[in-house]
Structure formats: C-alpha cells, structure tokens
Structure 1
Amino acid sequence: MDQMFEYKGTLFNHMFTKDSLDVMPDYVIRDDDVVIVTYVKAGTNWIIEIVNKLMRAAGKTDVHAKDIPWCIEVTLPAFGKPGHVIMEDQPSPRIIHTHLPWHLAPKMITSPKGKFKAIVVMRNPKDTAVSWYQFNRKLDPSLGTQRDTPWDEYVQRFLDGKVILGDFYDHALGWWQMRDDPHFLFLKYEDMNKDLSGAVRKIKQFLDISLDDVTTASVVESCTFASLTSTWADSGNPIKTLIARKGKVGDWKNSFSESQSKAYDAKYRERLDGTGLQFDFE
C-alpha cells in the first residue's frame, strides 16, 4: 500500500500533509461558497461538473471545472500547491470540494452559519470499494507509487476502514448528521445515475439558479457519463483521464465473492440500521 500516516484517527497518504490538515478546522468558508463533500469515488468530479456548468450557465462564475482542485486538503501533482491555497485566489462564488470526514472538516461547514450551500454525494460501499481499488491500480504508475495490492486484501482493508480517508461508514454517518440542516443537500450516486435530469433540477433549485428548460437540458446532456468521459479524456490532466471507468450501479458483482458480499452486508446492517441512511446496490 501507499505510505500512509494516521492523523486524528484517520489514514492519509503522501498527497496530504499534516500542515494542510492542521489548517482545515479554521479554514474560512465564504458566504457564497458552494461546498461539495464526497467520500472517494462517489461521483466527485461528476457533481463538480454539474454544479460548475449550472453556475456558468447562470452567469455566476467564469471558472472552469478543470481549474477547481478537488480536495482543499490535498496537494495534487497537476496543481502543485495545496487545494486550500489555490482556492484563496479564486473569485467568489467558489466551488469548494473536500473528502474529509466530518470531524476533520472546516468548522464553518460542520457548524454552519451564513448562506453557503453544501452538497453531499454518497455511493453504496460495494461499488465505492471496487471503483477505488480500480482507480488506484491505474493511478499508481502515473504517480510512481506502484503497488500490487491483491483484491482480497484490499476488500478486507476497506471493510475494516483501514484505507485512505478512513472508514466508509464513519464518513457517511458523520456527514449524515447534517441532513436536517438547510445548508445541506444530500444526493446518492445511484439516484443521479438513474435520473440525472431529476438530480440536476434538484441541484438547480437548491442553489437558487434560474435557467430555462433548454439550457437545463443541455447541462444534463453535457453531464452524462459518455459526455464527461470524452471531456476528461481530452482534458490533458493525466489523473482526469483515469476517473471514469464504467459509471454503473451494481458493477461490484463482478468483483465480490459470495463471502465478501455477505461480510459487507453484515457491516452495512450493523452500521446503518436505524440511521435512516440506505443505499441501492443495483
């Protein structure tokens, strides 16, 4: 596995620094920021594209999605500086993204005041695990961090929460406690996959964006899996060319053994029963 270190109970890799994580709690969220929160491989770039295209169409921003660093807490090779430093120079309204668990995120998000909006996108744990595993296998050679972690080892690590950015359920339930706060909109990857135009309309309404039906439909069309796969392939950003794989719900069935699936089902029931949070698996 990539060299990992623990920070306040959560595992991180070399793209995170203690200095960046230390400044996160006091990171200033502007009143008109749109904050996007995701666990890894839960549709991060998808939701950034949708929000950015809606805001651009409404004349609220001139910034392109390719210039928005995902993860304010990370220093990505393509950007050279920590995301939070880059975002300081971006004009308002900004699209701010974080993968951080609730307890490590900026306090201005977790104890919300002002008018900022936050969109949390979640994906079922089985598809998330497969997507994260496959993404790392493709990403490692480009970062020079070759590691051949067998699937059986990885799937157990994910189940045990011993992966970068910590336990899936800790992340999901940490943010889920914000579900009744009017600053927050919660979306599921599976619902977006099933009804993209419905999801776009919901986001548009949440962000108080007025667009006619034709413009909205063009945003939807430009944010389909096929459209974005093509956009990212031509982006010139080596990491973005690796983002899209299949974009399907239920692809986990091609990777999970019966015993692995049962173990994940047991953990799912143990952690989510009675919480009101549920996921579709196909």
Structure 2
Amino acid sequence: MSQLRNVLWTHQGLSLPHNVTKETLDVLPGFQIRNDDVVVASYPKTGTNWLIEIVVKILRASGKTKESVDTMTVGAMELRRPTASQPGYVKLAELLSPRLLITHLPIQFAPKGISKPQNKVKVLVPMRNPKDTAVSMFHFSKEIVPMLGGNAYDLRWEDFVQDYSAGIVPYGDFCDHVSGWWQMRDDPHFLFLKYEDMKKLGRQEGTPLFKVDTTGILGRQEGTPLFKVDTTGILGRQEGTPLLKADTTGILGRQEGTSLLKADTTEILGRQEGTPLLKADTTGTLGRQDLLSAVKTIVTFLEVDLDESTVKGIAEASTFNNMKPDLDNAAAAERRHIARKGIVGDWKNYFSTEESEAFDAWCEKKLGGAGLTFDFE
C-alpha cells in the first residue's frame, strides 16, 4: 500500500488530495464560466503545464493579455495550493478576462460550463500514455506529498503502481478520467492534444519525406558514397561523358542490361531482405503532429491571428529545454517540481515486464472500446 493514500480522501468513489474539499466540490458545478474563458481540463501529469505555457504565450502574442503564467493562473480551480489561503476558484472569480481555468476533475465533477460549454468557451484536453503518466505522477508525488503532510520517503514504486492501477491516486482512475472527457471529442468547444504527438519531431521545410538508406546500399562499406568521382580523366574527358559515373566494377554481380541501381537485398549491414532502398524519414512524416503543428492547431482553435514567424517562435520557446527554466523558477512552489525529463518512454526504466503487461491488459479492458489509443515510445 502506497503512503500516498495518507494524503487522499474519497468523494463518491473518487480519490482526491485533502486540499480539494467537499465544500468546494459542492459549489463548483455552478461556478460561473465566462464566454471568453479558456480551460485546460486534464488528468494530472499529462502535459498540463506544458500546454498552459503554450496557451499563455499565444494569448500574449495575440494581444489578448499581458499577464504571465504566474499571474494568469491560480492552479487547478478545485484545490487550494499549499501556499494559498483559499481554493483556486475563489481567486478566479476576481480575475479580469480572458481567464485561463485549470481543472483536474473528472468530467462529472467539473463545472457545468466546462463539461457542457456554450458560446466561445474553449476547452483544451491534454492526454498522455498512462505508463509515462504514472512515472511522472510518482516523482511529482514524492515532491508534493510533504507539502500535504505526508512522508515522501515511504513512497515506493512497487506500491504506487498498484494503487495507480486501482485508482487510489489523486483524481482517481486514469482510464475512467480520460474516457470521460474523450466522449466530448466531437464537440467543437473541445480540442484534444496528445503529449506524444507534440514530442515528435517534424520535418523541416524542404527536407525530403524519404531519405537514402546508406547502411548498406549496393554492397558498399558503411560510409562509402553511392557514386564516386571519375578522377582518371577529369578535364580530359571526351565530350558527353559524365563527370560522375557509377561504380560498375561489379555491383551485385548484375547481368548485362539489368538496372544499375537496385536494392541490395542480401541483408547487408543489418538490412532485411526485401527492404526498400529508400526508407521513410521517420523524424517527421507528412500528416503527423509535432510541436509546431500543435501550436498552429491551438492558434486556430483559439481563433487568434498570428503570423508564421510568431507561431514558430512560440513553438521554439515551448520546447522542454527552453521551458524548464521558467517552471523551475515559477512563483508557485508546487510548479517548480513539474518539469523532470519531458520524454516519451521513461516508463521502461520503472515497469517490470509483469507490471507492463498488467497495465496493457488494464488499459485494453477500460479503453478498448473508446477508440482512444496512445503511443508508448
């Protein structure tokens, strides 16, 4: 049993930290949402603060606000920060528009103006694969538990991962939480963004979709060129002869008339028989999401006008390495513990084979029919 349980309580079957009170949950459904509110609704540790940083940068660049993240946000609206005297929603009521609201509540406990938004309300929902989310929550809990009166040194991974699967962690069962919000995916007030998609690298403009597989073309040694310069008579060449000629000294033993260029399918340098000479450039294939594409999508969703240069600047400023110093020096103490590695696949360093297989079965059972899938590496 994880020591995290010591700082949790249960409300209608939902595990919550003690700084989310019943009194708050009773009044939140009727919390007044404004027409120009922007909302981030998320399960904890799914990229919430990354998305918040991007949204605030967009709002600032478009002239919608001059506020910083620290002055525009009050944390999740349902909880009282360890350093605050009141829950977030009280402070939100005092802020000028446009406001940026944050909630980690499942959809059934969220304010009605968020779960069923009207007019121009925008709700962004970040999502992340449950294994990396679990690892991130484990480390975050070790930092936050002492602020909530618990002992972080008693928090062991083996215990935590079992409680995570059972939903005995802040904000309850991951699968129930994300599937609840996911049911709103066809509502135009909502935008869903996957952490793993935003971490993918997009191709730079002008780079090819395919690149030459240089690991074993035509039987060459690794690193040798596909073509070589004819140095036997440059400048003395007969008119019409090429400056570059193919190395025809015995490529693949080809028969007269066969193609000069063909894939060496003999499994040279690890290439499997039948694999193509040209392979996909998997650093950013067409149609795949990446951070720049995500920023463009968010700009469009928020209905603001920004030029291409500004959008690219926001994407660059929002990379993990560029954003981490801001989080590490945030005014709110709990935000300083948010940024750790910011990678996909860190779960492999924590999950045993048995734990991983159990997680897979759990997710398949819970999400198999929801049409919601995740990338795990």
Q: 1:118-197 maps to which residues of 2 (within 5 A)?
A: 118-147=123-152, 148-194=154-200, 195-197=290-292
Q: Select the residue among 38, 44, 49 that pairs with 2:48.
A: 44
Measured in 2, the distance between the counterparts of 1:237 and 1:3 equals 20
TM norm structure 1: 0.96
Larger radius of gyration: 2
Alignment partner, residue 373 of structure 2 = 278
Structure having the larger proportion of residues in helix: 1
Tell me if the contact between 1:69 and 1:79 (Cα under 8 Å) persists in the aligned partners: no
**Paired amino acid for 2:311:** T
For residue 28 of structure 1, report the CA deviation from its aligned partner.
1.2
1:248-271 per-residue CA deviation (whole Å, 9 max, x = no partner) reads: 011000000000000000011111
Q: Secondary structure at the match of 1:96?
A: strand
For residue 38 of structure 1, report the CA deviation from its aligned partner.
0.8
The aligned length equals 282
Measured in 1, the distance between the counterparts of 2:335 and 2:115 equals 29
**1:220 pairs with 2:315:** yes
RMSD: 1.3
Alignment partner, residue 351 of structure 2 = 256
Tell me if the contact between 2:106 and 2:177 (Cα under 8 Å) persists in the aligned partners: yes
Measured in 2, the distance between the counterparts of 1:19 and 1:169 equals 26
Q: Secondary structure at the match of 1:239?
A: helix
**Paired amino acid for 1:89:** E
For residue 193 of structure 1, report the CA deviation from its aligned partner.
1.3
Measured in 2, the distance between the counterparts of 1:241 and 1:112 equals 31
Q: Select the residue among 202, 205, 209 that pairs with 2:304.
A: 209
Runs of 4 or more, structure 1, over 6 Å off, are: none
Q: Select the residue among 103, 106, 109 that pairs with 1:101.
A: 106
Range that drifts further, 85-94 or 232-241: 232-241
**1:59 pairs with 2:63:** yes
For residue 143 of structure 1, report the CA deviation from its aligned partner.
4.8
Measured in 1, the distance between the counterparts of 2:117 and 2:311 equals 29
Range that drifts further, 141-150 or 38-47: 141-150
Measured in 1, the distance between the counterparts of 2:112 and 2:146 equals 36
Q: Secondary structure at the match of 1:138?
A: helix
**1:245 pairs with 2:249:** no
1:167-213 per-residue CA deviation (whole Å, 9 max, x = no partner) reads: 00110111011000010001111111111111101000100111111
**Paired amino acid for 2:32:** V
TM norm structure 2: 0.73
Range that drifts further, 219-228 or 258-267: 219-228
**Paired amino acid for 1:123:** R
Measured in 2, the distance between the counterparts of 1:145 and 1:204 equals 41
1:48-97 per-residue CA deviation (whole Å, 9 max, x = no partner) reads: 11001100110001221112022100100233321101111111111111
Measured in 2, the distance between the counterparts of 1:162 and 1:251 equals 22
Alignment partner, residue 89 of structure 2 = 84
Alignment partner, residue 75 of structure 1 = 80
Alignment partner, residue 210 of structure 2 = none
Measured in 2, the distance between the counterparts of 1:9 and 1:22 equals 15
Q: Name the structure, 1 or 2, with higher relative contact order (CA <8 Å, separation 6+).
A: 1
Alignment partner, residue 254 of structure 2 = none
Q: Select the residue among 11, 17, 20 that pairs with 1:16.
A: 20
**1:229 pairs with 2:324:** yes
Long gaps (5+) in structure 2: 201-289
Long gaps (5+) in structure 1: none
Tell me if the contact between 1:99 and 1:165 (Cα under 8 Å) persists in the aligned partners: yes
Identity %: 47
For residue 138 of structure 1, report the CA deviation from its aligned partner.
2.2
Q: Select the residue among 26, 29, 35 that pairs with 1:25.
A: 29
Measured in 2, the distance between the counterparts of 1:214 and 1:81 equals 40
For residue 136 of structure 1, report the CA deviation from its aligned partner.
1.0
Q: Select the residue among 278, 289, 295 that pairs with 1:200.
A: 295
1:82-119 per-residue CA deviation (whole Å, 9 max, x = no partner) reads: 11011111111111110000110111222222220110
Measured in 1, the distance between the counterparts of 2:306 and 2:118 equals 27
